[in-house]
Structure 1
């Protein structure tokens, strides 16, 4: 799974520095006013020694305040990052939430469309076989454990930069930017094979654990819904062929329909 890809806003980076400057300037101004009034009350001339002492005293006061502010900003930044991560991931599987997964896939593809060369990639949809039977036989807690096992295998099988999301229920998605057909098939078979070899024994009873994988590779600018529909067709083929299988296809963008009387200019 990819990490949270949100970037901090510029104003959030400048905020600690701005606060530090404001605190220091305020302390210096306060110290200057205090020194001026003190020298004026005593009748002594307000000379450079007064200015220097004001700056030194102000800096001594401001330093711990600046450090405390910076520490607090760091804590808040960590908390914001944690909250963003929690809100974008599925709490059970630690995969991307379905809506976030969709948005990130579209963002990747939109960025790739502005580059030279083919907009290549692959989308895999993984569905746990007979998941409802596991829930019915062993209970929901063991069904949740199945989802955790499957998600762990999936996330361990992809590259850094690939996206893994829980699309809903027992269905997961993998987006492989830049992948060719052979790359996508390798990932799909690796996930399927590792899960099939996993020993799963809820309540001490053996329970076969398998998945079916449908994948689609593309080299055109396509909307996410078209990719999902094509991958779902391949998934259905894998299910109909007996489950515990992978099925892979390819898709191209549809060319605009041409009127019979239209001619292509040479």
Structure 2
């Protein structure tokens, strides 16, 4: 009996460190997988969602609306910096990245809880406001514009002049992400310059 107890104690003494090492290894693998999943869904510069993850989230919302009639529509806002390419050529791509990081921070601080922000192109962010009205979207869009105007964008000591365009698309019927984004981009580029008194938002025709 004593020998059995002694053998069990020795086995436990040997196994415990191995179990601890295995647990630590599992934790490391879990953290690595979480990091991989995050990097696959987020833009490396702005830390917002990337275009693929953003489109999938919007499509999921649209698909859910088909099954849950109580869900409202939504609004997408395009936020475009016309002068980003010029900034990159004159001051270097690192300063263009800094501008986009600042724009992302301003945008994320301006949206509502539950809204999504993503980088859709080199010089463009997208904002999806599920269930929002045009008035909600106007509030968010003008908050972004106002905070951008108040912010001091610089490349080192050199002040930067930003030409920011905003435009939106509202939908409340069957549609898809590509149509929503196309209309939001058109509104931003055609009518969404800094001289606009509000954010131009157009209603997407039902598919």
How many aligned residue pairs are there? 207
Aligned twin of 1:23:
none
Structure whose CA Rg is larger: 1
Q: CA RMSD in A?
A: 2.6
Say which is worse superposed, 75-84 or 91-100, in terms of deviation.
Answer: 91-100
Aligned twin of 1:232:
185
Q: How does 1:150-169 map to 2 (within 5 A)?
A: 150-169=103-122
SS of residue in 1 equivalent to 2:200: strand
TM-score w.r.t. length of structure 1: 0.68
Shift of 1:240: 6.3
Aligned twin of 2:141:
188
Gaps of 5+ in 1: 1-47, 255-266
Q: 1:146 aligns with which of 99, 123, 126?
A: 99
Aligned twin of 2:165:
212
CA deviations 1:198-230 (Å, max 9, x no partner) are: 112324233333421111122223111111122
Larger strand proportion, structure 1 or 2? 2
Q: How does 1:1-266 map to 2 (within 5 A)?
A: 57-239=10-192, 242=195, 246-254=199-207
Question: d(CA) in 1 for partners of 2:70 and 2:107?
Answer: 29
Gaps of 5+ in 2: none
TM-score w.r.t. length of structure 2: 0.85
CA deviations 1:120-143 (Å, max 9, x no partner) are: 211111001333333344333322
